[in-house]
Structure 1
Amino acid sequence: MIKATRTRLHGKTGLELTRLGLGTAPLGGLFAPVSEGEARATLEAAWQAGLRYFDTAPQYGNGVAEQRTGAFLQDKPRTDFVLSTKVGRLLRPGPLHKSQLDPQGEPFFKGVPQLAQVYDYSYRGTMVSLEESLQRLGLSRVDILYIHDPDADNRTVSEVMQGAYRALVELRQQEVVRAIGAGMNHTDWLLEFARAGDFDLLLVAGRYTLLEQGALCELLPLCLQKGIGVVAGGVYNSGLLARPAPGATYNYTAAPPELIMRAQALQKVCQRHGVPLKAAAIQFPLGHPAVVSVLTGARSGQELEENLQMFETPLPASLWEDLIAEGLLGQDVPIPVQEA
């Protein structure tokens, strides 16, 4: 069994992240509204379970997730948790950006103020973004600051490095934040950032999962070489590994048939071993030594409890052997080691 509340030390920064962290996008009303009471109950359940890494962003609920996360953490000892937020999107009155709308033209985040997300990866925009995040959080600092999805608005790596990255380096030098990073779901961009800058952490969303391991070839080895810790997000690939059936989502849109078939093949092997597919999916990334934490969202205490249960479900070594034997995992993929 892998214990969710044990920490992995990131030697470069001295930060200790619980192996399972809580992502707060669902608490900002992603896909369905979440009440203040439900959000607080979920955060309380995570805290009572021993989770101490919390990730948020201005994007999540147009600031609502930051507000709810900060309101909960304000009365907790500041040294007892690790908190990350992100820069790159300023919240302003106005028409919604196309990235805020689903294929049917409806907002992704429900039951929240419909503010425009203005993409801004400039030096000044980054400083303003952090200042406004701290106001919403009601806290004096965050531990980790990520550049959020810079691939989503026709920017170049060079532009982001000259603007947002320069600001993040300055904030780290001034000890305003302890660690800086970038987070997105495109491995090629993350690889360019890892090569070009002195990042502490990278949030790899959906590209190192049981379904696909695009980050394994170049990105993860480079992270090991440079001492960059990896936070693995999107481990269910937007729901496909949670419910591999027609109608499932992948990258927040309808999953293509070939990926549904692959997810179903993974599920069949898990069923033969008497374990849920979700348990294999949530534990898989921690097999790689570069990965310091797995980040999953929850919109209720019940969902959080299920994530904890899946994370701590014992998995036999023969499961991974069979996945490799059937060509569903590569021979070189590091697998999680169960603990006493």
Structure 2
Amino acid sequence: MKIEPTPITLGTSGLGRHSEPGSAEERAAVDVAIDLLTSRHGFVDTSNNYSSGRSEAVLGIALRELGADGSRVISKVDQDPETGVFDRDRVLRSFEETTARLGVDRLPLLHLHDPYSVTFEESISIGGAVQGLIELRSAGVVDAIGVAAAPVPLMAKYVETGVFDAVLIHNRFTLVDHSAEPVFADAKARGMAVFNAAPFGSGLLVKGPHSGAKYAYRPAGEELLEWTERLQRVCAEHGTSMAAAALHYSLRSPLIDSTVVGVSSPHRREQLDELVQAEVPDGLWGAIESLGPAPSPVDDSDYA
């Protein structure tokens, strides 16, 4: 089934973290979830393992309070948190856990999430995780299936199977790192929905160079910090912020159907909406290209 997301998908990886059922922290998280679910953006993205299941649980409370179905919630199946098992049966259990927390019977899109505890060959074999996803789609309890992870060589293999309706890759299609471009192009050619996650690269492209800065959860390194400082100056010279440039790099690409941005509060969601509306001059892109390739710390060679 064709997935038609809006340009922004709201991420909830930290939603409900460290909250207990019935606590004030849970109530605050539910209020965040309600804001996300009633925003102008089409989908809210979660996963079975986000905040140890609390992200889905909080979203479920919000859905019940709103009297809404799960048609705006995308989730992901994850490996068994204790054993690392990630096969067909685990996929079915993961889906059952997700729908129970959310209080729904079906989902518009369900991703295979971070399948690192098994090999690609194991995942696509009979009895493997991919079989479980295909069964769920065939049963009509999910409208579409996708794969969501990071290493580009691994993601290329999953896309090439032709099995999936969508793909999500994070931190590999940004102002710093363009390595996901050929995979996204292949997915687009196959008619898949393309989700580009983490356009700000662990916050580096919002906060700018600073002590302890990271890109894609790795230390940014002195060379990348220097490159980012030059980027920051170029953006300022063109009357825009680095954060706006980082977001619009993804939004303007014909390869990307939706950009996934994590949102932790209504205030952050409002800031995101302002960035979406920001005017980014066309001349900025050529000026950024003149900086040369950024020294990305990403190394996916182990998955080649």
Alignment TM class, shorter chain as reference:
0.7 to 0.9
Write the letter of the residue equivalent to 1:161: I
**d(CA) in 2 for partners of 1:70, 1:258:** 44
Question: Once the 2 structures are TM-superposed, how far is the Cα of residue 73 of structure 1 from its aligned partner?
Answer: 2.1
Say yes or no: does 1:235 pair with 2:219: no
State the match for 1:67 in structure 2.
57
Give 1:23-42 correspondences, 5 Å limit.
23-29=11-17, 35-42=25-32
**d(CA) in 2 for partners of 1:90, 1:137:** 19
**d(CA) in 2 for partners of 1:299, 1:164:** 31
Counterpart pick for 1:222 among 186, 193, 205: 186
State the match for 1:157 in structure 2.
120
Counterpart pick for 1:83 among 73, 77, 80: 73
Sequence identity (%): 29
Question: Once the 2 structures are TM-superposed, how far is the Cα of residue 207 of structure 1 from its aligned partner?
Answer: 0.6
Give 1:193-212 correspondences, 5 Å limit.
193-212=158-177
Say yes or no: does 1:293 pair with 2:258: yes
SS at match of 1:230: strand
- Which has a greater percent of strand? 1
Question: Once the 2 structures are TM-superposed, how far is the Cα of residue 325 of structure 1 from its aligned partner?
Answer: 2.9
Counterpart pick for 2:150 among 185, 210, 232: 185
Residue by residue over 1:25-66, the C-alpha shift from the partner in whole angstroms, topping out at 9 and shown as x without a partner, is 121329xxx922322222233344312201111221100000
State the match for 1:106 in structure 2.
none
Gaps of 5+ in 2: 19-23, 295-304
Counterpart pick for 2:9 among 17, 21, 32: 21
**d(CA) in 1 for partners of 2:218, 2:290:** 31
**d(CA) in 1 for partners of 2:220, 2:290:** 25
Query: Cα gap change, 1:52/1:76 in structure 2, threshold over 3 Å: closer, same or farther?
Result: farther
State the match for 1:94 in structure 2.
none
**d(CA) in 2 for partners of 1:142, 1:120:** 23
**d(CA) in 2 for partners of 1:126, 1:199:** 15
Aligned length: 286
Residue by residue over 1:111-156, the C-alpha shift from the partner in whole angstroms, topping out at 9 and shown as x without a partner, is xxxxx5x4232011111110111111111111111111113x3x21
The normalised TM-score by structure 1 is: 0.79
Q: Is the 8 A contact 1:194 1:223 kept in 2?
A: yes
Residue by residue over 1:240-278, the C-alpha shift from the partner in whole angstroms, topping out at 9 and shown as x without a partner, is 112122211222243222222222222111111111111
Gaps of 5+ in 1: 1-12, 92-115, 330-340
Q: Is the 8 A contact 1:58 1:89 kept in 2?
A: no
SS at match of 2:206: coil
**d(CA) in 2 for partners of 1:246, 1:223:** 37
